Amino acid sequence: MMEIGVFAKTFSGPFEAVCGQVKTSGINRIQFNYACVGLPSLPQVIESSVLNSVQQKLDDYALTVEAVSGTFNMIHPDPAQREYGLTALETIAGSCHVLNTNLITLCTGSRNPDDMWKAHPENNLPDAWYDLRQTVDRALAIAERYNVFLGIEPETANVINTVGKAARLLKEVNSPYLKIVFDPANLFDREPDNVIRYRIQHGLALLGDSIMSAHAKDRSAGGKVVAAGKGLVPFPLYLEQLQGMGYTGGLIMHGLAPDEVAETQQYLRTVLSRITNTR
């Protein structure tokens, strides 16, 4: 059965306090972000003392790192911003062996210069795809150098805004180092239930073999991100199909407040238990 985890950034405080809160919640798996140790999410340099401290805390609390965030705007209209992201990606990739993880999560970005999570009409133009390919090719060279995987998420506001485009990218680059992070709440904004269900089922069927991590957040009818089980994502359908595909990676909660972690975790455990008991 897949293991439920959580974004470490869900909790605040020094990293040891974060680890303690994760463990107290009954969770052993996290998605790590360097902001948790007081660094930028895209650090240009990571001191060995910081890495050693992170490794020690992870060992002390017996936490597994599902993935580390390396998210940057891969099609930012300013090439210097893309270079900054690639430099940070190499720094993060070089630290993965210390974190004992082999997955870095990415978004594909937007032409919006101020917010990579907001759509832009130029995201669908050929030059946006060209810039994405240039950035992805360089990112994959880094991944190969450090023997890590890059997990991208299809997201409605990004250049990869459909599962079809994600499949196209996978086919074009044809690299074993490019993987998918699947988040059903990123596949819709305010679409009706039948569209949501179709996109999830179609996405899992199309991208299943490439999915390396699965996320568990939700989206309300108004488009707001909410905790899993409090929005429109049909989690029984989503998790049943994931499990039916033989997926055994992490199910990482995010988009929730610290005081929602216990309730959300119990909800997901209940859904998974029902699926298992009906098989």
- Mean pLDDT along residues 205-230: 96
- Mean pLDDT along residues 70-90: 98
Q: Which amino acid is at 101?
A: T
Mean pLDDT of the chain: 97
Q: Which two tokens stand for residue 44?
A: 């240009």
Residue 108, pLDDT score: 98
Residue 97, pLDDT score: 97
Residue 277, pLDDT score: 79
pLDDT digits (tens, 9 = 90+) for 134-146: 999 999 999 999 9
- Mean pLDDT along residues 187-208: 96
Q: What percentage of the chain exceeds 70 in pLDDT?
A: 100
Give the span between the Cα atoms of 10 and 254, in whole angstroms: 7
Residue (of 207, 235, 112) closest to 151 by Cα position: 207
Q: What is the residue whose two structure tokens read 């090439």?
A: 79
Give the span between the Cα atoms of 24 and 273, in whole angstroms: 22
Q: How far apart are the first and last CA of the chain?
A: 13
- Is 1 a residue whose pLDDT tops 90? no
- Is 259 a residue whose pLDDT tops 70? yes
Per DSSP (E only), the strands in the chain are: 3-7, 29-32, 64-69, 103-106, 149-152, 178-182, 211-216, 218-219, 225-226, 250-253
Give the span between the Cα atoms of 2 and 214, in whole angstroms: 9
> Following CA atoms 71, 75, 81, 82 in sequence, which dihedral angle do they give, to the nearest 10 degrees?
70
Give the span between the Cα atoms of 162 and 133, in whole angstroms: 16
- Mean pLDDT along residues 91-107: 97
- Is 3 a residue whose pLDDT tops 80? yes
Q: How far is CA 200 from CA 53, 111, 197, 218, in A?
A: 39, 26, 5, 13
Q: Which amino acid is at 179?
A: K
Q: What percentage of the chain exceeds 90 in pLDDT?
A: 97
Pairing of the two strands 64-69 and 29-32 = parallel
Band of residue 276 on the pLDDT scale cut at 50, 70, 90: confident
Phi-psi region of 26 (alpha: psi -120 to 50; beta: other; left: phi over 0): left
Q: How many CA atoms lie within 13 A of 193 on its CB side?
A: 5
pLDDT digits (tens, 9 = 90+) for 10-69: 999 999 999 999 999 999 999 999 999 999 999 999 999 999 999 999 999 999 999 999
Band of residue 279 on the pLDDT scale cut at 50, 70, 90: low
pTM (2 d.p.): 0.97
Residues 6 or more apart from 233 whose CB is under 8 A from it?
A: 184, 185, 196, 200, 217, 218, 219
- Is 278 a residue whose pLDDT tops 90? no
Contact 170, 202 (CB under 8 A): no
Q: Which two tokens stand for residue 162?
A: 């459909």
Residue 99, pLDDT score: 97
Pairing of the two strands 225-226 and 218-219 = antiparallel
Q: How far is CA 191 from CA 7, 173, 240, in A?
A: 26, 31, 22
